[in-house]
């Protein structure tokens, strides 16, 4: 029979070169739309812990395809930089992480062909952290994603 | 009726003006960068044939010197371009286009131009001067091949006996029930191998062929983009794109360094009936053998059912993405290049978080159809300063040999084509 591997979230010694990484910036809680770079610098809403934990999840499960700078791979893996998918509707974004994505997606005129696997094995907290990290990295700036929001989406998917 | 392909002077270094009096003629100033921005061995130089053409995948040179290019995305309603250099300065001054379908494959054989979409293969009859007689009259020789996004491009090459070979990539990384998903089991046997994961043989001159009258010529090949017919051995050769994500899917078995290097990108010398083992096996270039894939019980060392599976004749490091293969038969380049293999590597993404590489064209010396020494990087510098798929300036994707022995290289990022010559040519 096939082996089923349970992902070990901890204990994976990742040494990731993140030199090119944009420093995460802060935004106010509850915002649903991206804000300009010169706004929302108050240290409210997005915790450093959430960003740090989110980066760990990103480096383990996302970076291989979406790359260290969120740039993705033309024709294959969608970018996470300033795209409507990342900055827009949080429910859709959470659904993509939980369900994966196997349909054709076009972003800025480019089609992406690789399948994204479902990441429903991540906890509500992990999904919230990684999406908060992604929405505030790679030049992105958007509101945090909360575990409650992830839980609400997850409960409707089953 | 051929329509003019409008080329916008996007690049600062290139200025293109279209003559109002002749819709197919373009006046150009050549790109001023040395060798068009790439580096070459001593004695070689390059000129930019054309720039900003779009997503140029494979290219082929006609005996009259014309270059035909296939676009991955139709641009201005055109998926095939013909570039003509009327004053023989190396730079195209006439560009026409047609063919309202996207795709990768293009080749010429026995008086026909062949081009592929991601499901079909078409051909166009050429006249004695090498011109397509009627661009509106495409003969649809192969149809309804599988296109499920992943690995959907169809590369094509012909033999000397009236057959055409088409790669049909597996729409999957490792035949998991759910693609690229941790813990998702892989089917055994892998059902995808019925209709994908191999190279099929069809007749070059029959219409509307599909799986029912094609021959599965070789199987167990995850995906091929670069392939060529070797005239020395009269055999099919191809470059396999090896599997991805050994570390992501099996972090306890493969560390990030191993996952960046493994498995090899395999150079295959193919005989009818060959089986190269995908998805059950991959080639480990350090152990020099086919290894059982972890999805099928492998541990990185075990061979198991992979013993006896066909092996590559040469192994390149992982994830470089070989997108074109060309055996050099010209007389222009120095003797060592004769009958050797040029391979265009599109460049990696699945080596992250390790640095990406492979954005270059290599040369592998060959003798009697087998590698005769180690590869060397022939043309480099395509990516520019940032070597990764998003930021790379150019990504090599196609190769062609001109009638005078010049080597053409295409890029599918912006659509630049270089003509590489040796000496005073």
Residue B15 CA from chain centroid, whole number: 29
Backbone angles phi and psi of B142, in degrees to 5: -135, 140
Are the beta carbons of B156 and B107 closer than 8 angstroms? yes
Q: How far apart are CA B412 and CA A76, in angstroms?
A: 14
Rounded Cα distance between B235 and A38, Å, is 62
Instruction: Find the CB nearest B389 among A16, A63, A74.
Output: A74
pLDDT at A104: 83
* Spatial strand order in the sheet of B94-98: B3-4, B94-98, B78-84, B67-75, B56-61
Give the DSSP H or E segment for B74.
strand B67-75
Contact B410, B51 (CB under 8 A): no
| Nearest-by-Cβ selection for A113 from B150, B249, B294 | B150
| pLDDT of B102 | 96
Nearest residue in B to A10, CA atom: B251
Dihedral-angle region of residue B151 (phi above 0 means left; psi in -120 to 50 means alpha; beta otherwise): left
Helices (H), B303-387: none
Interface of B with A in 2-61 (CB under 8 A): none
β-bridge pairing B396-401 and B407-411: antiparallel
Q: Hey, is B272 helix, strand or coil? A: coil
Q: How distant is the Cα of A44 from the closest Cα of chain B, in angstroms?
A: 31
pLDDT value of residue B28 = 58
What is the rounded distance in angstroms from the CA atom of residue B177 to the CA atom of residue B174? 9
Distance (Å) from the alpha carbon of A86 to chain B's nearest alpha carbon: 17
Q: Which residues of B touch A74 (CB under 8 A)?
A: 389-390, 413
Query: What integer pLDDT is reported at residue B203 of this predicted model?
Result: 98
CB contact under 8 A, B149 and A3: no
Interface contact B72, partner A, CB < 8 A: yes
CB contact under 8 A, A67 and B349: yes
Could you tell me the pLDDT band of residue A37, with boundaries at 50, 70 and 90?
very low
* Selection from B49, B52, B44 nearest residue B87 by Cα: B49
- Chain B, residues 377-396, CB within 8 A of chain A, namely 388-391
Q: What is the DSSP letter of B91?
A: S
pTM for the full predicted model: 0.87
Interface contacts (A, B; CB < 8 Å):
96
Q: How many CB atoms lie within 10 A of CB B46?
A: 24
Q: What angle do CA B407, B361, B398 make, to 5 degrees?
A: 60
Tell me the pLDDT tens digit for each residue of A73-92.
999 999 999 999 999 999 99
Contact A69, B390 (CB under 8 A): yes
Q: Is B189 exposed, middle or buried (0-12, 13-18, 19+ CB in 10 A)?
A: exposed
Question: Encoding tokens for residue A135?
Answer: 């929405």
| Residues of chain A positioned with their CB less than 8 A from the CB of B389 | 67, 71-74, 76
What pLDDT is attached to residue A105?
86
Q: How many residues does chain A have?
A: 158
DSSP state of A156: H
* Nearest in space to A119 (alpha carbons), one of A34, A45, A47, A60: A60
Beta-carbon separation of B72 and A75 below 8 A: yes
The residue among B172, B179, B226 whose CA lies nearest residue B195 is B172
In angstroms, how far is CA A45 from the centroid of its own chain?
17
Per-block mean pLDDT, blocks of 10 residues, chain B (425 long): 39 34 50 91 97 97 96 96 95 96 97 98 96 96 96 98 98 94 94 98 98 97 98 98 96 96 98 98 98 97 97 98 98 97 97 95 98 98 95 98 98 97 86
Among candidate residues B57, B123, B131, B61, the one with its CA nearest the CA of residue B92: B61
CA distance B173 to chain A (A): 9
Kindly determine whether residue A5 and residue B295, on different chains, have CB atoms separated by under 8 Å. no
Least CB–CB distance from A2: residue in B149, B178, B186: B186
């Amino acid at each position: 029979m096939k082996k089923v591997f349970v992902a070990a979230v901890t204990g994976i010694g990742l040494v990731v070169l993140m030199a090119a990484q944009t420093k995460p910036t802060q935004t106010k809680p509850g915002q649903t739309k991206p804000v300009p770079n010169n706004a929302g610098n108050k240290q409210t809403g997005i915790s450093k812990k959430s960003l740090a934990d989110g980066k760990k999840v990103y480096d383990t499960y996302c970076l291989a395809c979406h790359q260290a700078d969120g740039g993705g791979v033309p024709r294959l893996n969608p970018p996470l930089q300033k795209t409507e998918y990342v900055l827009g509707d949080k429910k859709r974004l959470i659904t993509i992480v939980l369900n994966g994505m196997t349909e054709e997606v076009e972003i800025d005129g480019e089609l992406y062909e690789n399948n994204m696997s479902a990441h429903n094995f991540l906890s509500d907290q992990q999904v919230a952290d990684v999406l908060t990290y992604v929405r505030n990295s790679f030049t992105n700036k958007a509101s945090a994603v909360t575990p409650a929001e992830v839980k609400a989406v997850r409960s409707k998917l089953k | 009726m051929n329509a003019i392909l409008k080329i916008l002077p996007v690049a600062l270094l290139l200025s293109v003006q279209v003559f109002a009096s002749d819709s197919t003629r373009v006046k150009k100033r050549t790109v001023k960068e040395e060798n068009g921005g790439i580096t070459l061995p001593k004695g070689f130089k390059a000129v930019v044939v054309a720039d900003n053409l779009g997503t140029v995948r494979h290219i082929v040179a006609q005996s009259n010197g014309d270059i035909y290019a296939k676009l991955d995305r139709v641009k201005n309603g055109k998926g095939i371009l013909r570039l003509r250099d009327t004053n023989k300065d190396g730079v195209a001054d006439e560009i026409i286009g047609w063919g309202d379908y996207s795709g990768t494959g293009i080749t010429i054989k026995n008086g026909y131009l062949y081009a592929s979409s991601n499901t079909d293969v078409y051909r166009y009859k050429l006249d004695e001067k090498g011109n397509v007689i009627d661009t509106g009259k495409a003969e649809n020789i192969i149809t309804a091949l599988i296109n499920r996004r992943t690995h959907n491009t169809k590369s094509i090459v012909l033999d000397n006996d009236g057959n055409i070979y088409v790669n049909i990539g597996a729409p999957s990384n490792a035949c998991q029930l759910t693609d690229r998903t941790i813990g998702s089991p892989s089917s055994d046997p892998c059902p995808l191998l019925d209709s994908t994961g191999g190279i099929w043989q069809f007749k070059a001159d029959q219409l509307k062929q599909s799986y029912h009258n094609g021959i599965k010529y070789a199987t167990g090949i995850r995906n091929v983009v670069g392939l060529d017919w070797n005239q020395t051995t009269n055999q099919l050769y191809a470059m396999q794109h090896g599997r991805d994500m050994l570390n992501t899917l099996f972090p306890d078995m493969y560390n990030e360094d191993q996952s960046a290097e493994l498995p090899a990108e395999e150079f295959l010398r193919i005989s009818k009936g060959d089986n190269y083992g995908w998805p059950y096996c991959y080639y480990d270039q350090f152990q020099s053998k086919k290894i059982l894939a972890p999805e099928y019980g492998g541990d990185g060392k075990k061979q198991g059912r992979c013993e006896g599976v066909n092996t590559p004749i040469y192994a390149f490091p992982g994830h470089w993405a070989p997108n074109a293969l060309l055996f050099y038969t010209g007389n222009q380049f120095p003797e060592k290049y004769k009958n050797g293999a040029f391979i265009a590597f599109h460049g990696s993404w699945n080596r992250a978080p390790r640095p990406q590489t492979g954005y270059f064209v290599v040369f592998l010396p060959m003798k009697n159809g087998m590698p005769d020494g180690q590869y060397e990087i022939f043309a480099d510098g395509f990516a520019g300063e940032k070597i990764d798929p998003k930021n790379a300036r150019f990504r090599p994707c196609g190769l062609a040999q001109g009638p005078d022995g010049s080597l053409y290289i295409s890029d599918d990022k912006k659509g630049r084509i270089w003509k590489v010559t040796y000496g005073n040519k």
